[in-house]
Amino acid sequence: MSVPAPARLVTIGQSHYCEKARWALERAAVPYVEDAHLPLAHWIWSVAAGGGRTVPVLVTADRRVLRDSTDILHFADALAPADRRLYPAAPAARREADELEDRFDVHLGPHTRRLAYFHLLPERALLLGLLHPTVGRIERALVRPLFGAVSFLLRRGLDITPVTADRSRGRILAVLDEVGVLLGDGRRFLAGDAFTAADLTFAALAAPMLAPPEYGAPLPRLEDLPPEMRADVERFRAHPAGAFALRLYAEHRRAAAGRNGACHFRV
Concatenating the DSSP letter of every residue in 230-265 gives: HHHHHHHHHSHHHHHHHHHIIIIIHHHHHT-TT--B
Residue 142 neighbours by CB distance under 10 Å: 14
Paired residues of 73 in beta bridges:
none
The pLDDT assigned to 254 comes to 79
Q: Which whole number is the average pLDDT over 46-59? A: 96
Give pLDDT tens digits for 69-121: 999 999 999 999 999 999 999 999 999 999 999 999 999 999 999 999 999 99
Closest to 203 measured CA to CA, from 221, 192, 193, 189: 189
Measured CA to CA, the distance from residue 238 to residue 173 in angstroms comes to 11
CA gap 176, 104 in Å, rounded: 10
- pLDDT tens readout for residues 159-170: 999 999 999 999
pLDDT bucket at 257, cuts 50 / 70 / 90 = low
